[in-house]
Amino acid sequence: MDITYRNLEKLGLNILDRKAIFDIYCTDERGDNFIVELQRSKQKYFRDRSVYYTTFPIQEQSKKGSWDYYLKRVYFIGILEFKMDDSEEYIRKIQLIDTKSKEVFYDKLTYYYIEIPKFKKSDRELSTHLDYWIWYLSNLAKIDYIPPKLEEYKPIKEAFDVAEFLALDRDKQFAYQLDLKARLDYKNVMDYAKETAKEEGRKEEKIQIAKNLLDILDIETISLKTGLSIEEIGSLKAH
């Protein structure tokens, strides 16, 4: 989907209210809101913080004047480098439910918690794109290679490339950027040369056709047939 990144800092209703700083806050083409938090250390009230953060994209949907209270969906995704409890589930999906029927009461507010330490799959056991991403997040700091299965998945390959670049010191990053610029400049020059050669080839072909038609058709008709200007065809006739 088309994701647009938004302002990471969300203010309260007035200047005295507290504000929230999100790691990633974005919307998709349907207008649904996504908050992504990466939490490295265990926090006592992280669940409370999750709920607090989701109040911001809910409140900002209110409209002045007549409003029927229709809301877009809000998703909170917590990527955690700690265990929330001792269960074995590494992904939790939380929604408001009817406690008696156990049916979802409201499906527009959803919390996902991904507990990285609970993910135990090896690279050979990965089967879904979500598996790939969680394996990537849990192993990035420990490996210096891309497993063949993940290398075939373009977004993961790009993520590894970004991580490798960010791991370089400033001098090496600068050298890399210079090398990349030189390669891109060379590619642009070569692409332009090829395109120019093609254009020149097409022009020569049109000129040859025009020469063959000089004794058969008038200049205006030849111009219409070949796309050459009347002046260009006139110079051919003069020669």
Please provide the average confidence, as pLDDT, over all residues in the chain. Answer: 81
Q: Are 160 and 148 in contact (CB under 8 A)?
A: no
103 shares its domain with 195: no
Domains of the chain: total: 2
Domain boundary pick from 100, 118, 136: 118
Among 4-13, 56-65, 103-112, the range of highest mean pLDDT: 103-112
* β-strands 104-115, 91-97 pairing: antiparallel
Q: Using the predicted structure, report yes or no on whether residue 162 has a pLDDT greater than 80.
A: no
Q: How would DSSP label each residue in 146-214?
A: --HHHHTSHHHHHHHHHHHHHHS-HHHHHHHHHHHHHHHHHHHHHHHHHHHHHHHHHHHHHHHHHHHHT
Domain extent, residue 90, equals 4-118
Give the pLDDT mean for 101-115: 96
pLDDT of residue 15: 44
105 shares its domain with 184: no
Q: Rounded to whole angstroms, how far apart are CA atoms 215 and 213?
A: 6
Give the pLDDT mean for 80-88: 90
Residues in the chain: 239
27 shares its domain with 110: yes
Whether 25 is covered by a domain: the verdict is yes
Query: Which tokens hold the place of 98?
Result: 């009817």
pLDDT band at 103 (very low <50, low <70, confident <90, very high): very high
Q: Using the predicted structure, report yes or no on whether residue 234 has a pLDDT greater than 60.
A: yes
Of the listed ranges 118-132, 168-182, 223-237, the least confidently predicted one is 168-182
Question: Of 210 and 165, which is predicted with more confidence?
Answer: 210
pLDDT of residue 4: 60
113 shares its domain with 10: yes
For helices 170-213 and 230-238, what crossing angle results, to 10°? 60
16 shares its domain with 113: yes
Name the pTM for this structure: 0.62
Whether 143 is covered by a domain: the verdict is no
Whether 145 is covered by a domain: the verdict is no
